[in-house]
Amino acid sequence: MGAWSHNPFGNDTACDWAYGLDERRDFSLITEAIQAVLDNGSDYLDSDLASEAVAAAEILAKALGRSTQTDSNSEEVDAWIKSITAKPSQDLLSKTNGALVRFMGPDSELRELWEESEDFGSWESSIKALQSALGF
């Protein structure tokens, strides 16, 4: 994982995934990322799937006007949010909460990678801030 920050767009996977937004005018890419985590069930969760879901959750927070990251890494996403009129459904928000809970638990490679770093507390706080921004 090419991580340089605990923020939702603080890794290569999330930033690369977000380029797909340019082709969409709705939340379908976000829905796909969240659903991929949920479809993984109780199997060991790959860090790339989780990183994309964190980025997707941040996009939803931005759509609700409650972003947790606004910097040079999120500029393209911020512009995309301004270009659409859609708002996230309650069903999508509920699924997002399930995905966030899933990769914060056991059998999550992303959590394991952060636990091995000196910045686990910052990452965990970042995820909790994101959950709060989404109303969970």
- Please report which residue ranges of the chain form alpha helices under DSSP H: 12-18, 28-39, 47-63, 75-83, 90-104, 109-115, 120-133
For the chain, the structural domain boundaries read 12-133
Q: What pLDDT is attached to residue 2?
A: 59
C-alpha–C-alpha distance, residues 50 and 34, integer Å: 9
Q: Are 2 and 13 in contact (CB under 8 A)?
A: yes
Per-residue confidence at 45, pLDDT binned at 50, 70, 90?
very high
In the chain, the percentage of residues whose pLDDT exceeds 90 is 82
Residue type, 31: T
pTM of the model: 0.93
| Residue 71 predicted with pLDDT over 80 | no
